[in-house]
């Protein structure tokens, strides 16, 4: 579990870096950045999977699909769900939806906890219950303040739990499954790149020759750490640790020009306290593990 906690926090930090990275890729727009992210990330993801020994899952998945063709629509659905999230992650901060997307990631742990409780019958520790209560206060304030959530917020908050549950249900909750999801996104990624106005990366800005591959490395490493964490942690704890990422995304959104309104401090304050509680929970767990060795 301690490895899972470290990997989850590492993934959140890398995703925060990636969220800011979109602002460095001008003149590319959100669709082009998404396309290049998939095309560049897939080779690095393939390398990571080979080095980790998880490539063994790829032929197993293909054999499973060959034996049960009815699973193919489910795999197409998982690819669509994660592809939509990756696209929104690239598109949001460049189109004035940075805070809306980050709020979706704040809601995500709550929907993950609810999913873990209903679908898998998981229970929360005392500190996890405190963190959840603090998060609920922040979410309730945002509901009271705005009367609802934007579509971008809801897509993030609802889409990911559906993705993880479906992956577990059809038996592709491993890096081989993520690799297949990304492979199925390649035609859409190619279409976004070819339909864009900046197919030649160096035509207007030669720095893109270095920045775009670097984005691919960061993206692949973040996805690698995230999926490994999802395998090592209980669903509820995995969801609660996801609060680290939106805190970083809010910081990036503020750096990119978004601003918090006065009433939003009552939204983010309790949620940031929830993150502190989760850090304490993680440290206590690591300490218990060390004493037991």
64-120, pLDDT tens digit by residue? 888 888 889 999 999 999 889 888 877 877 777 777 787 787 777 778 777 887 887
Whether 178 and 57 have beta carbons less than 8 Å apart is answered as: no
Q: SS3 string of the chain?
A: CHHHHHHHHHHHHHHHHHHHHHHHCCCCCHHHHHHHHHHHHHHHHHHHHHHHCHHHHHHHHHHHHHHCHHHHHHHHHHHHHHHHHHHHHHHHHHCCCHHHHHHHHHHHHHHHHHHHHHHHCCCCCHHHHHHHHHHHHHHHHHHHHHCCCCHHHHHHHHHHHHHHHHHHHHCCCCHHHHHHHHHHHHHHHHHHHHHCCCCCCCCCCCCHHHHHHHHHHHHHHHHHHHHHHHHHCCHHHHHHHCCHHHHHHHHHHHHCCCCCCHHHHHHHHHHHHHHHHHHHHHHHHHHHHHHHC
Q: SS3 string of 53-97?
A: CHHHHHHHHHHHHHHCHHHHHHHHHHHHHHHHHHHHHHHHHHCCC
pLDDT band of residue 250 (cuts 50, 70, 90) is: confident
pLDDT of residue 80: 93
Q: Where are the domains of the chain?
A: 1-292
pLDDT of residue 204: 58
pLDDT of residue 213: 83
pLDDT of residue 185: 92
**Most confident option among 16-30, 57-71, 97-111, 213-227:** 57-71
pLDDT band of residue 203 (cuts 50, 70, 90) is: low
**Taking 60 as the threshold, does the pLDDT of residue 208 lie above it?**
yes
**Taking 90 as the threshold, does the pLDDT of residue 195 lie above it?**
no
pLDDT of residue 73: 92
Position of tokens 């906690």? 5
**Taking 60 as the threshold, does the pLDDT of residue 202 lie above it?**
no
Question: Nearest 5°: phi and psi at 191?
Answer: -65, -45
Nearest C-alpha neighbor of 84 from the set 16, 139, 157, 27: 157
Q: In which region does residue 68 sit, left (phi positive, over 0), alpha (psi from -120 to 50) or beta (all else)?
A: beta
Whether 165 and 119 have beta carbons less than 8 Å apart is answered as: yes
Whether 65 and 244 have beta carbons less than 8 Å apart is answered as: no
pLDDT band of residue 205 (cuts 50, 70, 90) is: low
Higher-scoring residue by pLDDT: 201, 70: 70
pLDDT of residue 260: 66
pTM: 0.73
Q: What is the mean pLDDT of residues 40-48?
A: 84
Higher-scoring residue by pLDDT: 16, 62: 62
pLDDT of residue 155: 86
Rounded Cα gap, residues 142 and 144, in angstroms: 5
């Amino acid at each position: 579990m301690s490895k899972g906690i470290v990997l989850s926090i590492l993934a959140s930090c890398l995703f925060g870096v990636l969220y800011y990275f979109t602002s460095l890729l001008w003149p590319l727009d959100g669709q082009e950045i998404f396309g290049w992210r998939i095309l560049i990330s897939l080779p690095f993801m393939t390398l990571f999977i080979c080095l980790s020994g998880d490539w063994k899952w790829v032929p197993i998945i293909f054999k499973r699909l060959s034996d049960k063709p009815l699973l193919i629509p489910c795999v197409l659905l998982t690819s669509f769900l994660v592809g939509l999230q990756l696209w929104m992650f690239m598109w949001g901060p460049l189109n004035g939806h940075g805070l809306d997307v980050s709020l979706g990631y704040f809601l995500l742990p709550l929907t993950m906890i609810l999913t873990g409780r209903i679908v898998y019958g998981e229970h929360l520790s005392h500190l996890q219950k405190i963190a959840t209560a603090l998060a609920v206060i922040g979410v309730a304030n945002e509901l009271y303040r705005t009367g609802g959530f934007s579509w971008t917020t809801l897509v993030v908050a609802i889409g990911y739990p559906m993705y993880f549950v479906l992956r577990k249900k059809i038996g592709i909750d491993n890096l081989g499954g993520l690799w297949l999801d990304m492979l199925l996104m390649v035609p859409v990624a190619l279409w976004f790149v070819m339909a864009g106005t900046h197919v030649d990366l160096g035509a207007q800005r030669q720095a893109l020759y270095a920045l775009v591959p670097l984005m691919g490395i960061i993206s692949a490493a973040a996805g690698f750490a995230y999926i490994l964490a999802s395998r090592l942690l209980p669903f509820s704890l995995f969801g609660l640790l996801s609060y680290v990422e939106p805190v970083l995304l809010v910081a990036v959104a503020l750096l990119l020009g978004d601003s918090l309104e006065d009433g939003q401090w009552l939204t983010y304050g309790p949620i940031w306290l929830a993150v502190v509680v989760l850090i304490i929970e993680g440290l206590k767990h690591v300490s218990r593990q060390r004493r037991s060795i």
